Amino acid sequence: MRALTWHGKHDVRVETVDDPKIVNPRDVIIKVSATAICGSDLHIYDSFIPSMLPGDILGHEFMGEVVEIGKGGSGDLRVGDRVVVPFNIACGNCRPCKTGQFAGCDNSNPADKADLSEVAYGHGVSGIFGYSHMTGGYAGGQAELVRVPYADVGPMKVPEGLTDEQVLFLSDIFPTGWMAAENCMIEPGDTVAVWGCGPVGQFAIRSAFLQGAEKVIAIDHHPNRLALAAQAGAEVLNYHDVKVREALMEMTGGRGPDSCIDAVGMESHGFAPDNVIDAAKAAVRLATDRTHVLREVIMACRKGGHVSVPGVYGGISDKFPVGAFMEKGLTLKTGQTHTQKYMAKLLDMVVEGKIDPTFVISHRLPLEQAAEGYKMFKTQQDEVTKVVLKTDWKDAA
């Protein structure tokens, strides 16, 4: 089959590789119809995620048709079913899965328990498709075929009449934006500030309104992404033009936003002094993440407010404003998204027309041009918001 493989920093290639095989009884094989490139893929592209090996297949946002089923327990899935697959892999039986904490599944990462994630985080992390050997070394879905484990838990059948593009983002960025807003515990009248107007920020903005926020303030520096945020009703701030904290204080009567969402993560842009120091340290491998946005979020949030961090961080950071965090009595919630918990509810919202997730798509490419898609998404963010890759380009819209 053809698949997008990683070979090093900014070096991804579409190659012919072996077809996946059923390994465990609860596996299915999916013939991928559509897949997307995520901001999280850029962290791999930029070589910020350790334990990648040359030839690893990327991609964790995908959907398609079930073409093969393992011998036991794929639930009610049948060959021919059209499904969308959550990006994280979860067994459905462990304590975290039973309590809806699917992204904390104890069983889906087969890596050696002494692996990097246990050393770095104190606990081994769960499995994720196409996201390094630290998260299980699973082949990803930017491919013609993909093996999906625990198929009775993850994949969700797509009702007739919905296009791939309407449901593809249930695999990640829509639930991620939704959970980011949910973690803000929004009350009527609340103002929510969202840093980062990439795809995750865009869904966080729309989710915050759907969950009852009165005002959403969106922060970025790409005019096209800010314009998309404004279309959803957000007030926007370009951090090149204003001092973000000061502007937020002015817009909230001197209180600060009730909740602040960091939808940027470890690769914060900009020339704020702390960001430049983080970048210099990262360049010589003295540090990993650039945590400027997390610091700014904590400093801006009102006393007693909620800080929600869907943005991915991977290592350790200094200059964490621990005093502001404690003295203001902030609540911080974060994590990889418990996608499985939200998919059905958010599908209903798509069916009911409460949201049309296709708003975020700016570019469509055949899988064969996936490397070009990565380059565009990385270097032309002022034009590119979301790239969808289609395996059968003849059918592409």
Ligand X SMILES: NC(=O)c1ccc[n+]([C@@H]2O[C@H](COP(=O)([O-])OP(=O)(O)OC[C@H]3O[C@@H](n4cnc5c(N)ncnc54)[C@H](O)[C@@H]3O)[C@@H](O)[C@H]2O)c1
Site for Zn ion in 19-38 (CB under 5 A): 38
- State the nearest-atom distance from the C-beta of 241 to ligand X, in Å: 12
**In angstroms, how far is CA 194 from the centroid of its own chain?**
15
Contact call for residue 312 and ligand X (CB under 6 A): yes
Q: 216-235 mask for ligand X (x: CB under 6 A)?
A: ---xxxx--x----------
Please select the residue that binds Zn ion; options are 40, 166, 191, 385, rule is CB under 5 A.
40
User: CB under 6 A: which stretch of 20-28, 72-80, 304-312, 322-330 binds ligand X?
Assistant: 304-312
Nearest distance from residue 200's CB to Zn ion, in Å? 8
Our finding on whether 198 is near ligand X (CB under 6 A) is: yes
Q: Which is nearer to ligand X, 168 or 200 (CB)?
A: 200
| Residue 74 or 135 with smaller CB distance to ligand X | 135
For residues 23, 27, 30 and 35, what is the CA-based torsion angle, rounded to 10 degrees?
-100
Stretch that binds ligand X, among 67-75, 160-168, 305-313, 351-359 (CB under 6 A): 305-313
Residues 185 and 213 sit within 8 Å (Cβ to Cβ): no
Give the footprint of ligand X on residues 73-132 (CB under 6 A): none
Contact between 207 and ligand X per CB under 6 A = no
By CB under 5 A, what part of segment 86-105 binds Zn ion? 90-91, 94, 97, 105
State which residue, 24 or 238, has the beta carbon closest to ligand X: 238
- Interface with ligand X, residue 362, by CB under 6 A: no
Q: What is the total count of residues that contact ligand X (CB under 6 A)?
A: 35
Helix (H, G, I), strand (E, B) or coil at 88: strand
Strand partners, 85: 62
> In the chain, which ranges are E strands?
2-8, 11-16, 28-36, 61-69, 82-85, 88-89, 127-128, 145-148, 156-157, 191-195, 215-220, 235-238, 259-262, 306-309, 331-334, 363-366, 387-390
Binding mask 62-91 for Zn ion (x = CB under 5 A): ----------------------------xx
* Six token digits for residue 293: 């946005």
Q: Which of 193, 210, 352, 341 is nearest to 257 (CA)?
A: 193
x/- contact string, 237-256, with ligand X (CB under 6 A)? --x-----------------
Q: In Å, what is the CA distance from 83 to each residue of 74, 316, 388? A: 13, 37, 17
- By CB under 6 A, is residue 201 in contact with ligand X? yes
Indicate whether 180 belongs to the interface with Zn ion (CB under 5 A): no
25 vs 70: CA distance, rounded Å: 4
Q: Round to whole Å and give the CA distance between 67 and 32.
A: 10
Residue 94 touches which member of ligand X, Zn ion, none, C-beta under 5-8 Å by kind:
Zn ion
CB 199, min distance to ligand X, A: 4
Q: How far apart are CA 373 and CA 33, in angstroms?
A: 17
DSSP conformational letter for 159: P
Among 43, 82, 133, 341, binds ligand X (CB under 6 A): 43
Q: Residue 199: which residues within 8 A CB-CB, separation 6 or more? A: 38, 39, 169, 173, 360, 385, 386
- Residue 359 near ligand X by CB under 6 A: no
- Short-list 175, 139, 162, 161, CA closest to 32: 139
Binding site for ligand X (CB under 6 A): 38-40, 42-43, 172-173, 176, 195-201, 219-222, 225, 239, 263-265, 268-270, 292-293, 310-312, 336-337, 381
